């Protein structure tokens, strides 16, 4: 013990370095291996399920740390569940249809979990997401075919003591690296694009595809959709200064980021569309909503340390999107209908009230170069610790009710993607 106290600083540094680098990678042998076939499903299992077979349920797609499918048939299963009522080509294998089930518009919600979570059946994110999908299915009975898609990756360590508090906090930086490896593989872009393509078939104006991500899952999701947002926004530009954007559509109908764990620098190009010279269409709907809490110490304190150790130095590199005040456009707070912005109508972009919580566009710029731009489809919202108390508190009763209402209202909006036009 005396030896420990004499060298406690050196020992503490050594323990930190082990937790930061060596141990998480050394323990990767417990993770699921990749499927030997990445370009096709080698099993007939998806063909043996009569469709639709998962009404109001959740299907999982699991990924390895290098962005490969743990089971390629999991993606095939999702696509079969969505295209069961579309015309089949001659000789194309398709599952049998459930007798008496009529085709309905599709309502798909995809979720990518974050740090300290995975795709295990007993994971709390799996449970809470299944509850959300069940609620959406109940609210849309007879109107929509609701399906949840859960993207699982190795966000939680499977080895003691790194799977237990407080040692699991040491995995923050290694899991950030793992999320980036998956993002660089573009597999999440592939999944989102494949589902989006199926959703564009048929009555696509009524089909809705909402994507959500938490923590490093938001990092993965933003990496998969950011460039398409830039592309679609520039295509919709009026072509001259002072004009109005055409209605902008994305690879998915909407992207929702919850306590996102990525640097604000990644959002700079999208933030730069905020100009006083152009305006957005009056019927423009939100494409991206980020919600971050003041109570999230992981992104407020641990993230900058990891970025600094990675030799990042600028403010936008050291600060997460939700903690970078200059990019904030909205606030989510406790409010009544009378106090929810300039209007009490739930128009999703300017003010949205549900469950006693109000999302409203801030009317005071957060820096001298910022402009208040109505209907700007990229919403960066800040909330307080009494609404989301910490990094993982996204499923608390009050916020989850508001999130359900927002996603459900998004699902009620008819808006074909740009691909359809």
Instruction: Identify the CA nearest to 270 among candidates 293, 294, 286.
Output: 286
When mean pLDDT is compared across 21-30, 218-227, 391-400, the lowest value belongs to 21-30
Q: How far apart are CA 117 and CA 123, in angstroms?
A: 7
Residue 326 scores a pLDDT above 80: yes
**Strand pairing class (351-354; 288-293):** unpaired
Our CA angle for 162, 166, 172, nearest 5°, is 60
pLDDT-based confidence at 7, cuts 50/70/90?
Answer: low
pLDDT-based confidence at 23, cuts 50/70/90?
Answer: low
Q: How far apart are CA 189 and CA 352, in angstroms?
A: 29
pLDDT-based confidence at 182, cuts 50/70/90?
Answer: very high
Q: How far apart are CA 266 and CA 152, in angstroms?
A: 23
Q: How far apart are CA 391 and CA 320, in angstroms?
A: 13
Eight-state DSSP code of residue 31: S
How confident is the model at residue 94, as a pLDDT? 85
How confident is the model at residue 22, as a pLDDT? 59
**Strand pairing class (378-383; 288-293):** parallel
Q: How far apart are CA 403 and CA 354, in angstroms?
A: 9
Percent of the chain topping pLDDT 70: 87
| Residue owning tokens 């797609």 | 61
Q: How far apart are CA 2 and CA 24, in angstroms?
A: 30
* Per-residue pLDDT tens digits for 33-48: 888 999 999 998 999 9
Beta-ladder partners of 358: 333, 353
How confident is the model at residue 344, as a pLDDT? 41
User: What's the mean pLDDT when you consider all of the chain?
Assistant: 87
Which pair of tokens denotes residue 287?
């494409």
* Per-residue pLDDT tens digits for 211-256: 999 999 999 999 999 999 999 999 999 988 889 999 988 888 899 9
Beta-ladder partners of 209: 108
Model pTM? 0.90
10 Å CB burial of residue 100 (0-12, 13-18, 19+) is exposed
Q: How far apart are CA 148 and CA 140, in angstroms?
A: 14
Instruction: Identify the CA nearest to 32 among candidates 60, 12, 4, 3.
Output: 60
Q: Taking the CA atoms of 125, 126, 130 and 131 in sequence, report the sign of the dihedral they define.
A: negative
**Omega before 65 cis (within 30°)?**
no
How confident is the model at residue 17, as a pLDDT? 64
H-type alpha helices, 186-215: 187-199
Eight-state DSSP code of residue 160: T
Residue 419 scores a pLDDT above 50: no
pLDDT-based confidence at 345, cuts 50/70/90?
Answer: very low
Q: How far apart are CA 120 and CA 88, in angstroms?
A: 34
* Per-residue pLDDT tens digits for 65-122: 999 999 999 999 999 999 998 887 888 888 899 988 999 999 999 999 998 999 999 9
CB atoms within 10 A of CB 259: 30
CA distances from 101 to 13, 55, 106, 138, 145 (A): 62, 11, 14, 17, 11
10 Å CB burial of residue 334 (0-12, 13-18, 19+) is middle
* Backbone dihedral region for residue 356 (phi beyond 0: left; psi -120 to 50: alpha; all else: beta): left
Q: How far apart are CA 327 and CA 260, in angstroms?
A: 14
Residue 24 scores a pLDDT above 70: no
């Amino acid at each position: 013990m005396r030896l420990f106290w004499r060298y406690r600083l050196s020992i503490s540094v050594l323990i930190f370095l082990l937790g930061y680098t060596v141990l998480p990678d050394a323990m990767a042998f417990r993770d699921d291996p990749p499927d030997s076939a990445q370009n096709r499903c080698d099993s007939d299992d998806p063909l043996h399920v009569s469709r639709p077979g998962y009404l109001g349920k959740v299907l999982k797609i699991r990924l390895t740390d290098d962005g490969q499918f743990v089971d390629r048939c999991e993606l095939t299963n999702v696509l079969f569940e969505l295209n069961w009522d579309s015309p089949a080509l001659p000789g194309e294998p398709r599952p049998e249809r459930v007798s008496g089930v009529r085709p309905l518009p599709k309502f798909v919600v995809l979720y990518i979990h974050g740090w300290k979570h995975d795709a295990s059946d007993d994971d709390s994110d799996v449970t809470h997401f299944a509850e959300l999908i069940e609620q959406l299915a109940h609210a849309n009975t007879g109107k929509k075919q609701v399906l949840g898609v859960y993207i699982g990756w190795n966000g939680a360590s499977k080895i003691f003591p790194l799977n237990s508090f407080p040692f699991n906090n040491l995995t923050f930086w290694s899991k950030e690296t793992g999320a980036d490896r998956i993002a660089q593989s573009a597999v999440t872009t592939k999944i989102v694009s494949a589902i989006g393509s199926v959703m564009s078939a048929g009555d696509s104006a009524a089909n809705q595809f909402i994507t959500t991500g938490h923590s490093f899952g938001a990092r993965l999701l933003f990496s998969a959709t950011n460039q398409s947002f830039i592309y679609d926004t520039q295509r919709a530009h009026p072509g001259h200064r002072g004009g109005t954007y055409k209605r902008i559509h994305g690879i998915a109908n909407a992207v929702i980021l919850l306590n996102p764990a990525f640097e604000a620098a990644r959002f700079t190009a999208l933030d730069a569309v905020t100009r006083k010279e152009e305006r957005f269409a009056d019927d423009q709907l939100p494409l991206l909503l980020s919600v971050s809490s003041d109570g999230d110490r992981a992104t407020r304190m641990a993230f900058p340390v990891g970025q600094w150790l990675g030799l990042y130095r600028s403010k936008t590199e050291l600060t997460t999107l939700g903690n970078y005040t200059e990019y904030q456009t909205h606030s989510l707070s406790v409010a009544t209908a009378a106090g929810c912005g300039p209007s009490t109508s739930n128009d999703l972009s300017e003010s949205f009230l549900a469950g006693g919580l109000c999302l409203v566009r801030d009317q005071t710029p957060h820096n001298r170069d910022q402009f208040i731009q109505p209907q700007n489809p990229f919403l960066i919202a800040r909330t307080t610790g009494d609404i989301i108390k910490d990094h993982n508190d996204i499923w608390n009763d009050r916020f989850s009710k508001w999130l359900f209402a927002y996603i459900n209202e998004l699902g009620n909006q008819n808006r074909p993607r740009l691909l359809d036009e």
